Structure 1
Amino acid sequence: MKDMRIAMISMHTSPLQQPGSGDAGGMNVYVLSTATHLARQGIEVDIYTRATRPSQGEVVEVGENLRVINIIAGPYEGLAKEELPTQLAAFAGGILQYARCENLEYDLIHSHYWLSGQVGWLLRDLWEIPQVHTSHTLAAVKNVYRSENDSPESEARRICEQQLVDNADLLVVNTREETADLIQHYDANEERIVVVAPGADTELFTPGNDRATERSRRQLGVPLHAKVVAFVGRLQEFKGPQVLIRAVAELLRRDPDRNLRVLISGGPSGPNATPESYREMAAELGVERRIRFLDPRPPAELVAIYRAADIIAVPSYNESFGLVAMEAQASGTPVIAARVGGLPVAVAEGETGLLVDGHDPSDWADALAQLLDDDDTRIRMAEDAVAHATNFSWARTAEQLAGVYSEALSLELPNCHGRRAQGR
């Protein structure tokens, strides 16, 4: 393993970008965290991403055995994620040029998300090395679970994902639920799917004592004796901040004197998303004084939000796993989440939190009230949440990924007469 060099590809969002804004989210955390721990094992990792600022420089030395390489493909700014397919050739060409000029040879490609997967598929054949691919989200699944106001994912994206399912040497998924999705929607070969659970930084995200919680609330301007519910993530329909806002309005309609405060930390994502739209919703529902909107925070500052909250709400319409839920539990905060995707794996129902069927604000208000009003259960769940989170660490994830890489390297690559189908 110590002699292995990996090319990771994360085209549309840099792992160094602040999660919670724009297109940066859980995938950024996943890529940087797994790469960091793989590098600690002695594996050399180069992460290729699209340059978005000239000040970034071409190469960022993140740590021993780990670099981020910024490839120029299209303008630095003003290019929406939906327009990035126009830059696939430029991005692939930039990687080839850099690797050639630096005399780099890689043992394996690990691509993340379908855009990177398409580039990785090309490089796989040019370099004649295996490709491991992680989708993170799937068009067919997002279209099934999207809210009625969300735009559907394109058929072009679904076709590109189908090509990757058919041609990547191994597919890494977060949960067995995701395996079932690949088989159902993409007719995937189960023998080429490997389940590797993501983790959390259990050294950073730790529970605080009463003094730490009090300090966190003072920093965030939250009343010390209020009950606090927090949302952390991108402000977009798919993540469900509107579900929480409407549920809070319903909760306060039932009990106007409830001492409740809500923290929503994140930035807008997508062409139609703005922080103002969610603030306007809160104002229209009469709860704007109970909700505080916070800018996206780096992980070291997110700890304060998790500790300040009595409950973390994750009302997403789908999650391949749910990193926010796991970080919250590691910080000693129970979670109320939608029963979708990998969230039933991330949250131990009845032990570390509650799961809600659907996104009806009334149902979410019921779940919030149940946990907010039962101090004994909530405190017990907070304690159990920490123990649950210890089963998920990035070091363990990286160790399993290293095993996947070894398996991929042992596979016989298809020759010209034995190629897999090139999509449908």
Structure 2
Amino acid sequence: MNYEFRQGRLCVEDVHLTSVAERCGTPTYVYSAGMIRERYREYADALAGLDSRVCYAVKANSNLAILNLLVREGAGFDIVSGGELFRVLRAGGDASKVVFSGVGKTAAEIRYALEQGVASFNCESIAEIDVLDQVAGEMKKKAQVALRVNPDVNPVTHEYISTGLRENKFGIDMSVVEKAYEYAATLQHVAMTGVSCHIGSQMLDSAPMVEAVQRLVALAKRLQAAGLPIAHLDLGGGLGVKYEANERTPSIGLALAALRKVVEGTGLAITVEPGRSIVAESGVLLTRVLYRKNNGGKEFTIVDAGMNDLIRPSLYKAFHEIVPVVQKDSREILTDIVGPVCESGDWLAKQRRLPLMESGDLLAVKTAGAYGFGMSSNYNSRGRAAEVLIDGSRFEVIRERENWDDLVRGERIP
């Protein structure tokens, strides 16, 4: 197992987290390289034999070391900004395995992506296609394009990460998308070769994905019948992971087997874009207890990681299991686990039952490998956490902890 207690201490692969804290301090994000490889290979194996590509969604965790680990596994990449493309290339990635998604690409980002030779663009509006056509024309290039369809399928997930309904900002409504393809086919510098969708994230049931892909295949057939050279489907990502012990999550293999049944025999190449399901469970946020506080009968455990380090609980009311790094026999209490940031919304867990923790004790916030560090900030002028990658019995710092000079880098007093 990648995470387990040995002699009362929590280990990631073959490394005690107490050793990481002693060397690197806290708060620190810690990732298991072995688990990331395992999750990626589950996707690759499930699609073996199909004309397919697994494009890791960089926004989930964009550290160069993690991207490079996936490059060495043969992954492609799904990006949503020019900066993410820069990271992929810096990590050794191949631009020809990159899909550029996102609802708000700038002309400068489009130009950079065309210069680097990305495989294709997932476009989300007629206005975007017009800009892509113009920039490609200026560069005497032809861009490969899929339109992102909004299939109006409910992903049954948090409203902030639902992307496939009519009220969401993403995609082109199914009722008008064929007219959009007809228009785009008249442009000289885009080739309409694909159809794309992504209905949401942290889906705990694969049925909505299957329904969306069925609609996508039917649309592709109609477009082909109309004479468009549709050759590939981008099925997005979104499979959920286990944040709570009693949560039932979809098996990657079974979910992809259900998708295979829909696409096999169509002659269409497929792309999937998993992010969270590859990296989330690989990571923990390691934090140290600063103080205990009883306020009118309510218990607080104050730790050195705050909402600037992990905003998901404050933003989404997201649940993360939190466990002592060293098992304790002390009595359990009901406590809020809160950070040092000057906001009442700065909490990692509320009314959580934990052993009585003392100053200096370590806690591990689990399933923190996705949308943890990437969404962190310098709020309250707090330096961002260190990041560590464990591979077997070895661990390395893959991002240094920010210091106070880092906080003001680039600032000027006029």
The answer to whether the superposition gives a TM-score over 0.5 is no
Which structure has more strand as a fraction of its residues? 2
Which structure has more helix as a fraction of its residues? 1
User: Which protein has the larger Cα radius of gyration, Structure 1 or Structure 2?
Assistant: 2
Q: TM-score, normalised by structure 2?
A: 0.34
